[in-house]
């Protein structure tokens, strides 16, 4: 990563655009590669392409029900003037052919059967007739290779069954199974340690709240986003606003973390405490993102471990983590381009003000192709749970007019 200024006293830090943060904050850390069974490899990221141990399908294979033939024997065949071929036998599924195809001969083939020696094509049963026992009529010519896949047509030996650096999808698991690869070397799930702070914050299981107390909503929601990004969330509890408490806890969790996320208290004092603790342990790359909501965001690296200090409001924290944290979790697992998110186009139901030079993330409900912005203080989590998705108003824009077509990132 490129260097950033260090904290000294209460200096001001670089405020960055989200684009700068995504392009510039790129810690080099990657998780180690481990072997997992195929059944657990879905959406995991192989460290490298997995080469095929052998060709696939492994033998010249019929793709139709019909007859294995020499293509030349069918040239000129038509409904009016069929080719007559001797029926020499039949191929059984999952078995070696017991007979070869000689000129003027044909062997009955099931879809998926092994092409017998001497044959170079399979004519579909629909273009044949067995009018006399022991003889078939072919009513259409076939070209060599027709009705057949070559022994290495799916994958050649040594060619990649699946690529490295991209999360494995369902069909990839099928391809690995076809190649006999039942254990896969994939990046370990990044361990994302979530630290909540704030004297007012209590655990979700707190039945009766004291005056001014709130249950920790952000940590559970962040855990969900981390899981969606292929990471392993580690909820490391709530740290008080007492001076030194956060720094001490950070020293404890850093050695076992691939990423630390500090869900900061929402007051100015709590935010200053986060910056101070982080500055004592590493380099702050930016303090302040040009985004609404989410301005008081801190990006840093401490002893090789990236750290994100999130704003105190749950809504702001989740908006920032989606935008900046999720791609980082993927990258820690070796995936440079996160999988695409669902989206849809819709027309803005009303005018949307925005300040130039700032990225605005607006929650919207989508109905019948219209995107209705959901306004409300970012202290309200319900703004987010009522939304179907969000739209991003880019930095240069000074607002969008009602009726504008916008791209809505949909939540799932």
Positions 198 through 257 that interact with a second copy (CB under 8 A): 198-202, 204-207, 209-225, 227-228, 235, 241
Cα(1)–Cα(300) distance, integer angstroms: 10
Cα(19)–Cα(119) distance, integer angstroms: 60
Residue 59 binds to a second copy (criterion: CB under 8 A) = yes
Residue 96 binds to a second copy (criterion: CB under 8 A) = yes
Give yes or no for a contact between 364 and 400, defined as CB atoms under 8 angstroms apart: no
Residue with tokens 């471990």: 305
Residue with tokens 């070696």: 96
| Minimum CB–partner distance for residue 295 and a second copy (Å) | 13
Beta carbon nearer to a second copy, 281 or 374: 374
| Minimum CB–partner distance for residue 249 and a second copy (Å) | 18
Beta carbon nearer to a second copy, 6 or 367: 367
| Minimum CB–partner distance for residue 193 and a second copy (Å) | 15
Question: For residues 120-159, which are near a second copy according to CB under 8 A?
Answer: 149, 153-155
Pick the binder of a second copy from 20, 90, 111, 349 (CB under 8 A): 111
Residue 15 binds to a second copy (criterion: CB under 8 A) = no
Residue 265 binds to a second copy (criterion: CB under 8 A) = yes
x/- contact string, 325-364, with a second copy (CB under 8 A)? Answer: --------------xxxxxx--------------------
Beta carbon nearer to a second copy, 4 or 378: 378
Handedness of CA 329, 193, 277, 359 (dihedral sign): positive
Beta carbon nearer to a second copy, 121 or 162: 162
Residue 35 binds to a second copy (criterion: CB under 8 A) = no
Neighbours of 10 (CB within 10 A): 8
Cα(207)–Cα(204) distance, integer angstroms: 8
Question: For residues 278-307, which are near a second copy according to CB under 8 A?
Answer: none
Residue 48 binds to a second copy (criterion: CB under 8 A) = no
Cα(247)–Cα(251) distance, integer angstroms: 6
Pick the binder of a second copy from 57, 89, 118, 394 (CB under 8 A): 57
Beta carbon nearer to a second copy, 256 or 407: 407
Cα(116)–Cα(134) distance, integer angstroms: 18
Q: What end-to-end distance do the CA atoms of the chain give, in Å? A: 32
Tokens of 156: 């050649």
The stretch near a second copy (CB under 8 A) out of 133-141, 193-201, 243-251, 285-293 is 193-201
Please state the three-class secondary structure of 42-96 as a single string: CCCCECCCEECCCCECCCCEECCCEEEECHHHHCCCCCCCCEEEEEEEECCCCCC
Peptide bond into 293 cis (omega under 30): yes
| Minimum CB–partner distance for residue 80 and a second copy (Å) | 26
Residue 368 binds to a second copy (criterion: CB under 8 A) = no
Tokens of 357: 């030079």
Neighbours of 269 (CB within 10 A): 11
| Minimum CB–partner distance for residue 127 and a second copy (Å) | 15
SS3 353: strand
Tokens of 302: 């401490």
Residue 94 binds to a second copy (criterion: CB under 8 A) = yes
Beta carbon nearer to a second copy, 84 or 411: 411
Beta carbon nearer to a second copy, 169 or 350: 169
Pick the binder of a second copy from 1, 365, 379, 406 (CB under 8 A): 379
| Minimum CB–partner distance for residue 95 and a second copy (Å) | 5
Neighbours of 13 (CB within 10 A): 19
Question: How many chain residues bind a second copy (CB under 8 A)?
Answer: 100
Give yes or no for a contact between 71 and 217, defined as CB atoms under 8 angstroms apart: no
Closest CA to 312 of 198, 194, 193: 198
Residue 393 binds to a second copy (criterion: CB under 8 A) = no
Closest CA to 245 of 266, 213, 287, 276: 276
| Minimum CB–partner distance for residue 376 and a second copy (Å) | 8
The stretch near a second copy (CB under 8 A) out of 8-16, 78-86, 128-136, 194-202 is 194-202
Pick the binder of a second copy from 8, 170, 255, 401 (CB under 8 A): 170
Tokens of 292: 């609404």
């Amino acid at each position: 990563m490129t260097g950033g200024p260090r904290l000294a006293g209460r200096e001001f830090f670089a405020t960055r655009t989200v684009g700068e943060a995504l392009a510039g904050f790129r810690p080099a850390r990657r998780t180690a590669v481990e072997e997992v069974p195929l059944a657990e490899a879905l959406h995991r990221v192989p460290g490298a392409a997995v080469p095929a141990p052998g060709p696939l399908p492994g033998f010249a294979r019929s793709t139709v029900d019909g007859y294995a033939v020499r293509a030349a024997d069918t040239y000129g065949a038509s409904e009016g003037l069929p080719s007559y071929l001797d029926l020499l036998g039949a191929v059984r599924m999952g078995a070696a052919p017991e007979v070869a195809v000689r000129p003027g001969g044909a062997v009955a083939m099931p879809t998926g059967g092994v092409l017998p020696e001497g044959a170079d094509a399979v004519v579909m049963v629909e273009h044949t007739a067995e009018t006399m026992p022991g003889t078939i009529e072919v009513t259409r010519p076939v070209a060599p290779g027709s009705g057949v896949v070559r022994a290495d047509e799916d994958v050649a030996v040594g060619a990649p069954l699946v690529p490295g650096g991209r999360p494995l999808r369902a069909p990839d698991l099928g391809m690995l199974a076809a190649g006999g690869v039942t254990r896969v070397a994939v990046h370990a799930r990044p361990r994302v340690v979530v630290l909540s702070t704030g004297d007012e914050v209590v655990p979700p299981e707190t039945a009766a709240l004291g005056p001014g107390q709130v249950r920790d909503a952000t940590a559970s929601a962040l855990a969900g986003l981390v899981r969606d990004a292929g990471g392993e969330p580690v909820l490391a509890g709530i740290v008080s606003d007492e001076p030194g408490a956060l720094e001490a806890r950070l020293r404890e969790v850093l050695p076992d973390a691939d990423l630390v996320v500090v869900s900061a208290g929402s007051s100015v004092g709590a935010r200053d405490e986060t910056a101070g603790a982080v500055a004592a342990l590493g380099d702050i790359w930016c303090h302040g993102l040009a985004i609404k909501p989410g301005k008081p965001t801190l990006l840093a690296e401490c002893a090789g471990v990236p750290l994100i200090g999130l704003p105190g409001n749950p809504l702001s924290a989740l908006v920032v983590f989606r935008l900046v944290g999720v791609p980082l979790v993927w990258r820690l697992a070796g995936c440079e381009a996160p999988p695409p998110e669902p989206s849809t186009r819709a027309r803005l139901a009303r005018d949307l003000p925005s300040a130039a030079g700032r990225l605005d993330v607006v929650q919207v409900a989508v109905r019948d192709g219209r995107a209705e912005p959901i306004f409300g203080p970012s202290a309200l989590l319900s703004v987010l749970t009522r939304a179907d998705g969000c739209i991003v108003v880019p930095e240069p824009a000074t607002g969008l007019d009602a009726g504008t077509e916008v791209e809505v990132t949909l939540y799932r």
